[in-house]
């Protein structure tokens, strides 16, 4: 097994990329919670230590008091550009490469983006953090390309007020096996 560099992370969106992260890096930056298990399976397959595995879980989610309204009022129209650029850059590998997404609804239909209020976000984050204690932190897009700063700032404030404190409280009251 190749020697790993301390602190080297690899972002991955495909099984090929997730496997590469398990072989070569100190952790993975995922773009889907579904990739957490892929990563742990790959770490085990390559003889790695599951307790030392590190997942940095990016979330393609809009969290707001009324996320459907926020999405419909313009945030959704910015999202296809973002994901389509990732596709154009070759961020996906292997046989399951997606085509370009024609519109915001196609992103929602494919499950690329999710829309959640605080309650749903808290439940989701606590569940995935409990299931995968290797998650070191969650990453969110503060704002989408072309979105007004005020819109992104409002969602960040909503998360700071309604989501982060409750996730922190619930995880503190949950027995989660913390990896080394």
* Per-residue model confidence as pLDDT tens digits over 8-67: 899 888 888 899 999 999 999 988 888 999 999 999 999 999 999 999 999 999 999 999
Assigned domain for 164 exists:
yes
pLDDT in tens, 111-162: 989 999 999 999 999 999 999 999 999 999 889 999 999 999 999 999 999 9
Q: Select from 13, 11, 14 the least CA-distant residue to 94.
A: 14
Assigned domain for 135 exists:
no
Q: Which domain holds residue 160?
A: 60-117+143-172
Assigned domain for 178 exists:
no
Assigned domain for 136 exists:
no
pLDDT for position 93? 67
Q: How many domains does one find in the chain?
A: 1
Assigned domain for 49 exists:
no
Assigned domain for 25 exists:
no
Q: What is the mean pLDDT of residues 78-91?
A: 88
Assigned domain for 84 exists:
yes
Assigned domain for 94 exists:
yes
């Amino acid at each position: 097994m190749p020697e790993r560099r301390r602190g080297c992370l690899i972002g991955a969106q495909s099984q090929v990329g997730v496997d590469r992260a398990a072989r070569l890096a100190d952790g993975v930056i995922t773009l889907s919670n579904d990739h957490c298990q892929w990563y742990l399976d790959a770490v085990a397959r390559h003889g790695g230590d599951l307790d030392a595995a590190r997942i940095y879980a990016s979330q393609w989610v809009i969290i707001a008091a009324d996320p459907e309204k926020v999405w419909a009022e313009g945030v959704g129209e910015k999202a296809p550009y973002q994901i389509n650029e990732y596709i154009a850059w070759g961020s996906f590998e292997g046989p399951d490469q997606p085509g370009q997404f024609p519109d915001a609804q196609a992103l929602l239909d494919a499950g690329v983006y999710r829309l959640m209020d605080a309650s749903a976000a808290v439940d989701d984050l606590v569940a995935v953090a409990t299931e995968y204690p290797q998650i070191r932190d969650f990453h969110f897009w503060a704002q989408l390309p072309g979105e007004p700063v005020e819109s992104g700032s409002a969602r960040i404030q909503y998360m700071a007020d309604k989501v982060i404190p409750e996730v922190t409280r619930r995880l503190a009251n949950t027995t989660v096996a913390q990896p080394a």
